[in-house]
Amino acid sequence: MHALIEELVTQQIVAALSAPQLVQAAWDRMQHIRPDLTEPQVVLPMRNLAGLWRDLFPAEQCRLAQLLIERVMIANGGLEIIWRDQGRQDLAAELAPGTIGAELQEWEQQEETV
């Protein structure tokens, strides 16, 4: 049962990282924090992270999940995820150019193409 819940949560995280309206919300917030960044500098790393999610170390997946999710509830035969309001903004800031997150993502993408 635990593995099934974990898989459902993972699916929702990956979907959230690539959902246009959620990515747009992160971009809108980042414009206020880092007006020097362009839209591709914010949006592309989030979408790339969605594609790389399953390749991340479990500890990093857990850390990012905790950054994005406040809590997961099982109710009425379904799963409800309560997202952190600040989570996507914090993630976008971690993936911004010049950060270790952006450098790691770039390195992982280069490894995939080799």
Phi-psi sector, 20: left (phi>0), alpha (psi -120 to 50), beta:
alpha
Alpha-helical regions (H) of the chain: 2-18, 20-33, 39-52, 58-68, 87-94, 100-113
Over residues 87-113, mean pLDDT: 65
Beta bridge partners of 80: 73
Over residues 104-108, mean pLDDT: 58
Tens of pLDDT, residues 33-87: 888 888 888 788 878 888 888 888 899 899 989 998 999 998 887 889 998 877 8
What contacts 107, CB < 8 A, 6 or more positions away? none
User: 95, 102 in Cβ contact below 8 A?
Assistant: yes
